[in-house]
Structure 1
């Protein structure tokens, strides 16, 4: 039988975790690494679903949302006895994409984990829906987030239905230039050479 973990309990531990991470001497460097990562990350269906997305201007707030989400996942990991599946809470796509930028700072994250004793949790193979975007307004993740930090940023916390609607618009736009299968195939150069 799976033990029910109340969102409020996750929230309490998540706030403690985020405080510990933010107190780490290299937390600022983690932010800098994620901010610089935007120039190295091609993303057709994550960040572009944010209305009028700006990689530089949106980075600070998106980093905040992502570290909060990661703290929730780490709290859930601890409170469930290190259950990776239950800890992989549904997240909105933009937050999930930023979590990849955060996880790309692997050496730095390893040092922060060693100093704080807190594991960063992100396992793509444990995500429901594998393509991301499974977060739904009012779900367990949302309840825990609200209990920890209040309202989510509606700019970045886009629910599954709206994510899919926006992605269908992107499908049409990208197909015109040879990008198909949600960015997994691109024939732009072939089309331009013809």
Structure 2
């Protein structure tokens, strides 16, 4: 059974949310039963120490690495399961499978996929495919969209509003963040800064 919604990037008719949800739950259960699942979660949570954007995790109110990365990992794995399900049900249409998600959740998806060895081993063993390409990403998640309907159909309840932040709120928070970033010389959503480190380094040596 097919949903009426069309992915206009490919003109693919998207699978019904109930169909996506059923397959996504099977995928997620299989992933959780894999012996490397716990290690994948631990490694993904540690990834924040190596890399994080200025526009993903920071839009979470009072973001805290210690308490937020665990719930975000759960959300990321749900998203990956949904994407994998859509990919299978559309005969490998990666455009259709690139679901619209909230920026902080998408950032944790990146952290999971950075665990390349584990992801390869787990997906190969389970016969599934994780789907994610930056050139296919679309932002601007809003309640009621296709991703939301699939999520609800999976029986996971309402997406946690702390992490699932709608498009308008995301724009507002990014504006606030950029105003704060600018006060320390960081510009363009963290894509540039005016810190030359010379003076800063000298002050740190003197202070230390």
TM-aligned CA deviation for residue 45 of structure 1 = 1.2
- After superposition, what is the alpha-carbon deviation per residue over 1:3-28, rounded to whole angstroms, capped at 9, x for unaligned? 34111111111101100111111011
Aligned to 2:160: 153
> How many residue pairs align between the two structures?
189
Q: CA RMSD in A?
A: 1.4
Aligned to 2:103: 93
Whole-angstrom CA distance in 1 between matches of 2:98 and 2:105: 13
Whole-angstrom CA distance in 1 between matches of 2:98 and 2:73: 18
TM-aligned CA deviation for residue 152 of structure 1 = 0.6
TM-aligned CA deviation for residue 166 of structure 1 = 0.3
Aligned to 2:148: 142
Q: Aligned ranges for residues 21-170 of structure 1 at < 5 Å?
A: 21-128=31-138, 133-148=139-154, 149-170=156-177
- After superposition, what is the alpha-carbon deviation per residue over 1:139-182, rounded to whole angstroms, capped at 9, x for unaligned? 00000001111211111000111101100001111011111111
- After superposition, what is the alpha-carbon deviation per residue over 1:22-56, rounded to whole angstroms, capped at 9, x for unaligned? 11110111001011111111321111100011112
TM-score by length of 2: 0.87
Whole-angstrom CA distance in 2 between matches of 1:42 and 1:25: 27
- After superposition, what is the alpha-carbon deviation per residue over 1:104-146, rounded to whole angstroms, capped at 9, x for unaligned? 0001100001100011111111112xxxx42111100000001
Name the larger-Rg structure.
2
The answer to which structure, 1 or 2, has the higher relative contact order (CA under 8 A, 6+ apart) is: 1
TM-aligned CA deviation for residue 190 of structure 1 = 5.6
Task: Write out the 4+ residue segments of structure 1 that deviate beyond 2 Å after TM superposition.
Answer: 1-4, 188-193
Gaps of 5+ in 2: 1-10, 201-208
Whole-angstrom CA distance in 1 between matches of 2:13 and 2:28: 24
TM-score by length of 1: 0.93
